[in-house]
Structures are given as structure tokens and as C-alpha cells.
Amino acid sequence: MPKVTEEYIAKKKKEIIDAAYQVCLEKPITDIVLQDITDKTGFSHGVIYKYYKDIDEVIHDLVASINSNFSYVDKWEKICKESKDWQTVVRKTCQMGSGLLLKMDIGTLKISAYADVLAMSDPDRIVSLEASLKDEEKSPFIALLRSIKEYLDELIGNGVIHPSVTSDEILQYLYASVRGIQQVYLINECTGGRVFNKSYDAGKMFDMLSDSLIGIIGG
């Protein structure tokens, strides 16, 4: 019997992950079972179990694969180096967020939304999933928020800014705002623009977010 190569294993796992991605376009992560993957790939359960012991391992690799396609910190650090002041950093950071959102495929946004549903319906499961991810496999947005917090704390420590709230509260506001813009954009796209009669402008929302952040950070 010929030896199974690493390339062969990687190819099979990719086929399974690609199938899982397609299934996620059709139904929430909370409802996906291994049978959905076998139906989509045409593989038997035995073949799937050679590579994954359960559906959560498949979801783990799916999430890791999606997250590995994005890297925000490097782009943001370049913004910091090229900007003359913190206000410019804020505006360019929000512009970066807008550009990234508009380039992101709807499937990825759907999976992100379904992950939120999983967090609400089965928090222990999502905590276990997140704990199993390596640092490089975790949400690039969370990594960016950590870098932004370090930047804000340095500005506060040097007396450059005097915000009316803590850096943690600024980050919470930023996170909630970006996720809100993202969710409404997704819903509007999925409904063919019927929510806001095609007038929803995610780029404008990010511009408004930058204005509000500058006001908050400036105190």
C-alpha cells in the first residue's frame, strides 16, 4: 500500500474545509453536522473521520483558514509610521476598516455572524473553540485592537491625549461600532439593499466613526 503523503492529507483536509465553507453559506454553524460535510464532499463518514474526529475540529480548521487570510496589524503599523498625528491615525484606521469590509466576501461575513449566534446559543462550545486556536489562527481584528490599546496607552502616558474615558472603554466602543457596521452591511447585502433601500454606505459609517472617536479620544 503506497505511503500517504503530507501533501495528500493537506489536499483532503482542504477539500473538507472548502465543503464546510460552502455549507456555512447555506445554514448556520450551530446547525451543521458531519453529514452535511459528507453530502457536500461526496466522501463517506469513514473518510471524514480519518482527518477529523468531530464537526468542531472541522469548524476549528475553517475558522483558522479564514483568519489566516487576513492581517491587519502590519497595515495599521504602517499607518502609524506614516501619519503626522494621532487624529490622522484614527481617520486612516477607519478608512482601512472600510476598505477591508468592502473587499470581504459575503460568505466570510456570514460565518462571522453565525459564530456570534454560536457564542450566544452555546458559549462553552465557542470558548473551547477559541482556546484551541493558535495565536496566528485567532481573530486578526482582536489582534488589531490589542495594538490600538497599546498605542492609546502610550499616548495617554505621554500626556498627548486626555480622553474622557479609559482606553478599555474606547476599545469596547470601537469593537461594538465596527461589528455593528459590519452586521448591518451584511444584512443589507443579503436582502438586496431592501433594509435601507440600497442607501446604506458602510464607508460613510466608518467616516462618522472616526469623527466620534476623535472627539472621545481628544476628551
Q: Are 51 and 9 in contact (CB under 8 A)?
A: yes
- Residue 2 is given by DSSP the state P
Helices 140-157 and 167-190 meet at what angle, rounded to 10? 150
Other CB atoms within 10 Å distance of the CB of residue 37 = 22
Which of the listed CATH numbers 1.10.10, 1.20.120, 1.10.357, 3.30.310 matches domain 70-218?
1.10.357
- Residue 4 is given by DSSP the state P
Helices 86-103 and 167-190 meet at what angle, rounded to 10? 30
pLDDT higher than 80, residue 4:
no
Q: What are the sequence ranges of the domains in the chain? A: 6-64, 70-218
Q: Are 203 and 100 in contact (CB under 8 A)?
A: no
3-state secondary structure of 21: helix
Indicate if the alpha-carbon torsion angle 103, 183, 175, 178 is positive or negative: positive
Residue-level length of the chain = 219
Is the pTM higher than 0.85?
Answer: yes
96, amino acid identity: M
pLDDT at 83: 96
The greatest distance separating any two alpha carbons of the chain, rounded to the nearest whole angstrom, comes to: 70
pLDDT band, residue 3 (cuts 50/70/90): low
pLDDT tens by residue, 157-191: 999 999 989 999 999 999 999 999 999 999 998 88
**What is the Rg, in whole angstroms, of the alpha carbon atoms belonging to the chain?**
20
pLDDT higher than 90, residue 212:
yes
Q: Are 76 and 148 in contact (CB under 8 A)?
A: yes
pLDDT at 2: 54
pLDDT higher than 90, residue 69:
no
Task: Confirm or reject CATH 2.40.50 for domain 6-64, answering yes or no.
Answer: no
pLDDT at 1: 44
End-to-end CA distance of the chain: 70
Q: How far apart are CA 213 and CA 87, in angstroms?
A: 9
